[in-house]
A and B are shown apart, each in its own frame.
Chain A
Amino acid sequence: MILSKNLDDLKFDKKLKVAILSSFTLNGLDETFHVKCSEIGIRYQSYVADYNQYNQEILNSKSDFYNFSPDITFLILDIRSLLGDYFYFPYSISSAERKSLVKEKINELENLILQFKNNSSSTLVITNFNIPSYSPNGIIETKSEFGFHEMIHEINESLRNIVKNQNSIYVYDFNQFVSKYGEKNIFDYRQFHLGSIQIAFNYIPYFAYELMSYVKTMLGVSRKCIVLDLDNTLWGGIVGEDGFDGIELDQTSNGKAFVEFQKQLLSLWQQGIILAINSKNNFDDAMKVIREHPDMILREKHFASIQINWDDKAQNIKQIAEEINIGLNSIVFFDDDKLNQERIKQEFPEVLTVDMPNDPSQYSSILTNLNDFNALQRTEEDTKRGVMYAQQRQRKQFENTVSNLDQFLKQMDIKVKIKQSNGFLIPRISQLTLKTNQFNLTTRRYQEEEIRKFSKDENFEVGCAQVLDKFGDNGITGAYIVKKNETNWILDTFLLSCRVMGRGVEDAMLSHILKDAKNNGIEEFKAEFIPTLKNKPAENFLSDFGFRKHDNFWVYDLKNDIKSPNHLMVEIE
Chain B
Amino acid sequence: MLNDLYKIIAKVFSISESDVSDESGPKTIESWDSFNGLVLVDELENHFNVKFTISEITDVKNVADIKRHLKNHKVDLDE
A residues engaging B (CB < 8 A)? 27-28, 190-191, 193-195, 197, 201-202
Task: Say if the beta carbon of B54 comes within 8 Å of chain A.
Answer: yes
Once the chains are docked, how many angstroms separate the CA of A195 from the CA of B34? 8
**Which residue of B35, B57, B58 is within 8 Å of A201 (Cβ)?**
B35
Inter-chain contacts of A195 with B (CB < 8 A): 34-35, 38
Task: Say if the beta carbon of B39 comes within 8 Å of chain A.
Answer: yes
Could you show 18 A-B contacts with beta carbons less than 8 Å apart? A28-B35, A190-B54, A190-B57, A191-B38, A193-B54, A194-B34, A194-B38, A194-B54, A194-B57, A194-B58, A195-B34, A195-B35, A195-B38, A197-B38, A201-B35, A201-B38, A201-B42, A202-B42
- Quick check: B39 and A201 within 8 Å, CB to CB? yes
Once the chains are docked, how many angstroms separate the CA of A201 from the CA of B39? 8
From 34 to 64 in chain B, residues with beta carbon under 8 angstroms from any chain A beta carbon are: 34-35, 38-39, 42, 54, 57-58
Inter-chain contacts of A27 with B (CB < 8 A): 35
Minimum CB–CB distance from A499 to chain B (whole Å) comes to 49
Once the chains are docked, how many angstroms separate the CA of A28 from the CA of B34? 12
Inter-chain contacts of A194 with B (CB < 8 A): 34, 38, 54, 57-58
Once the chains are docked, how many angstroms separate the CA of A258 from the CA of B54? 48
Inter-chain contacts of B58 with A (CB < 8 A): 194
Once the chains are docked, how many angstroms separate the CA of A197 from the CA of B39? 13
Minimum CB–CB distance from B17 to chain A (whole Å) comes to 21
Chain B residue with Cβ nearest A202 = B42
Minimum CB–CB distance from B78 to chain A (whole Å) comes to 28
Chain B residue with Cβ nearest A189 = B54
Chain B residue with Cβ nearest A27 = B35
Once the chains are docked, how many angstroms separate the CA of A202 from the CA of B41? 12
Minimum CB–CB distance from A56 to chain B (whole Å) comes to 23
Chain B residue with Cβ nearest A195 = B34
Once the chains are docked, how many angstroms separate the CA of A191 from the CA of B54? 9
Inter-chain contacts of A201 with B (CB < 8 A): 35, 38-39, 42
Inter-chain contacts of B42 with A (CB < 8 A): 201-202
Once the chains are docked, how many angstroms separate the CA of A190 from the CA of B37? 13
Once the chains are docked, how many angstroms separate the CA of A197 from the CA of B42? 14
Inter-chain contacts of A197 with B (CB < 8 A): 38
Minimum CB–CB distance from A30 to chain B (whole Å) comes to 11
Inter-chain contacts of B54 with A (CB < 8 A): 190, 193-194
Inter-chain contacts of A191 with B (CB < 8 A): 38
Once the chains are docked, how many angstroms separate the CA of A191 from the CA of B39? 10
Minimum CB–CB distance from B15 to chain A (whole Å) comes to 15
Minimum CB–CB distance from A106 to chain B (whole Å) comes to 33
Listed from nearest, the 4 A-B pairs whose CB atoms lie closest are A27-B35, A190-B54, A195-B34, A193-B54
Chain B residue with Cβ nearest A193 = B54
Chain B residue with Cβ nearest A201 = B38
